[in-house]
Amino acid sequence: MSDRLPGFSTLAVHAGAQPDPTTGARATPIYQTTSFVFNDADHAASLFGLQAFGNIYTRIGNPTNAALEERVAALEGGTAALAVASGHAAQVVVLQQLLQPGDEFIAARKLYGGSINQFTHAFKSFGWNVVWADPDDIASFERAVTPRTKAIFIESIANPAGSITDIESISTVARKAGVPLIVDNTLASPYLIRPIDHGADIVVHSLTKFLGGHGNSLGGIIVDAGTFDWSASGKYPMLSEPRPEYHGIRLQETFGNFAFAIACRVLGLRDLGPALSPFNAFMILTGIETLPLRMQKHCDNAKAVAEFLAAHPAVSSVNYAGLASDKYNQLARKYAPKGAGAVFTFSLKGGYDAGVKLVSKLQLFSHLANVGDTRSLVIHPASTTHSQLDDAAKIKSGAGPDVVRLSIGIEDKEDLIADLEQALA
Ligand SMILES: *Cc1c(COP(=O)(O)O)cnc(C)c1O
């Protein structure tokens, strides 16, 4: 064996998986079982007391899911990961470890519409208060810090406009405030950006999008960077204080640089319950094997489509960070040199009505609320994903009435351009 460290494409195919020890099956089997037999009573007791690692019950862990967790942790450069039922479940489980009722977290205002809803409404009922900041104005994050701030949450490439976030600058603010930086890396995937290399402490994903990649399985994942000291400030009792449900052990003291992933599993997933089906884990694992190939094609197609739209007379503007003229192009060159992703927006001179009409005329593009599929997708955010926001908030989050969002697939780019050409005509 050479002592070369495996590259990204090799990890995408192999990390976390080996031939099944019982049957020799080469693909990771779907361990479609709810529970696992203990060797004996002592083994059972040590599993329940967190003195040994092993399988108990699929709500807490499953071998198919474990292969997925190890693979994504390797691709992101983290110490450990936890797979859950959806991207939104990942966000709840992460924040449950960090916030007590009455606490605050700072979030970038440019986010997936569902996250804006979750943070504003659902989390309020838990007593978790979101404070919004502007990802284009780093000082707005600094100004938002208070003694109750427990975390900062951003997207690496932000929905819906595909803008690039200056992760390192916001990480500096988080370090100074003594709170972890959580990065939602869904739109970039680790092929384009690895947030941990830029100072993220926790990475979350909707696996539903580019990682799974085929529009067929929901999933979410949490990656622990292993970088944050949970005991330094006393602000994170879930990790630093004795846990009564586990004979008084302290998670950081016991599990060191993967304590956060353990907390998410044994306090979050165990008690809240959003487990990922092993079948979905299998589908997503298979999708990840081709992530580098797909992601490059997504980006190359997106750039060609953005260039076509920028030159079209019915289009007033295109927001794609991969265009040299775009205001995020400098950040794209720094953070995502292989490509600026495949989700972006453009504006039509005809406003709201033209946006609605375009969506109905497209044939190859599917009109639906998703991104990161092999198929090209289109949506008019103002009338759908962002319709709950008032006009000012729509514009601030990049979803004004004239804006159309595309998620470019891996078809032939000439066919995508031809479809847009006929619909714009
Ligand atoms: C889709 C999405 C989510 C939510 O993920 P689900 O799997 O749908 O729960 C979160 N963040 C981003 C950026 C997304 O695109």
Measured from the Cα of 159, ligand 1's closest atom is: 13
321 within 8 A of 383, measured Cβ to Cβ? no
Q: Is residue 262 one of the residues assigned to a domain? A: yes
Answer with the one of 287, 303, 326 that is the final residue of a domain.
287
User: What's the CATH number where 310 sits?
Assistant: 3.90.1150.10
Instruction: Check whether residue 125 and residue 245 sit in a common domain.
Output: yes
pLDDT tens-place values along the chain, 425 residues long: 578 999 999 999 999 999 999 999 999 999 999 999 999 999 999 998 888 889 999 999 999 999 999 999 999 999 999 999 999 999 999 999 999 999 999 999 999 989 999 999 999 999 999 999 999 999 999 999 999 999 999 999 998 889 999 999 999 999 999 999 999 999 999 999 999 999 999 999 999 999 999 999 999 999 999 999 999 999 999 999 999 989 999 999 999 999 999 999 999 999 999 999 999 999 999 999 999 999 999 999 999 999 999 999 999 999 999 999 999 999 999 999 999 999 999 999 998 899 989 999 999 999 998 999 999 999 998 888 888 788 888 887 778 889 999 999 999 999 999 999 999 99
The residue written with tokens 């019982």 in the block is 22
Cα of 171 vs centre of ligand 1, distance in Å, is: 22
* Binding site membership of 187 for ligand 1 (Cβ less than 6 Å): yes
Whether 234 maps to a domain, the answer reads yes
CATH number at residue 84: 3.40.640.10
Buried b (16+ CB within 10 A) or exposed e, 70-86: bbbbbbbbbbbbbbbbb
Buried b (16+ CB within 10 A) or exposed e, 390-401: eeeebbebbbbb
Number of domains in the chain: 2
Whether residues 229 and 113 fall in one domain: yes
Contact (CB, 8 A) for 34 and 275? no
114 lines ligand 1 (CB under 6 A): yes
In a domain, residue 195? The reply is yes
Question: Does 249 share its domain with 310?
Answer: no
Rounded Cα distance between 308 and 359, Å, is 17
Look up residue 360 and give its amino acid.
S
The pTM assigned to this predicted structure is 0.96
Ligand 1 geometric centre to CA of 87 (Å): 5
Residue ID of nearest Cα to ligand 1 atom 12: 112
Mutate to test the pocket of ligand 1, among 91, 93, 110, 112 (most ligand atoms within 8 A of CB): 112
Q: In this structure, which residue's CA is closest to atom 6 in ligand 1?
A: 87
Query: Are 316 and 191 part of one and the same domain?
Result: no
Is residue 283 domain-shared with residue 296, that is, in the same domain? Answer: no
Classify residue 202 by burial, with Cβ atoms within 10 Å: 0-12, 13-18, 19+: buried
Could you tell me if 46 and 90 lie in one domain? yes
238 lies in some domain = yes
- Whether residue 1 lies inside any domain: the answer is no
Please indicate, yes or no, whether residues 35 and 152 belong to a single structural domain of this protein: yes
**Distance between CA 350 and CA 347 in Å, rounded?**
9
Asked if residue 2 is part of any domain, the answer here is no
Q: How far apart are CA 70 and CA 49, in angstroms?
A: 23
User: In terms of domains, do 19 and 147 share one?
Assistant: yes
- Residue 70 sits in the same domain as residue 200: yes
pLDDT in tens, 7-31: 999 999 999 999 999 999 999 999 9
**Same domain as 266, residue 197:** yes
> What is the predicted pLDDT for the residue at 1?
59
- Which residues span the domain enclosing 311? 291-424
Q: Which of 232, 267, 287 delimits the end of a domain?
A: 287
Q: Which of 287, 317, 341 is at the close of a domain? A: 287
Residue 312 and residue 299 share a domain: yes
Which letter does DSSP use for residue 35 in this model? B
Residues 269 and 299 in one domain: no
Q: Where are the alpha helices (DSSP H) in 230-272?
A: 237-240, 251-255, 259-263, 270-272
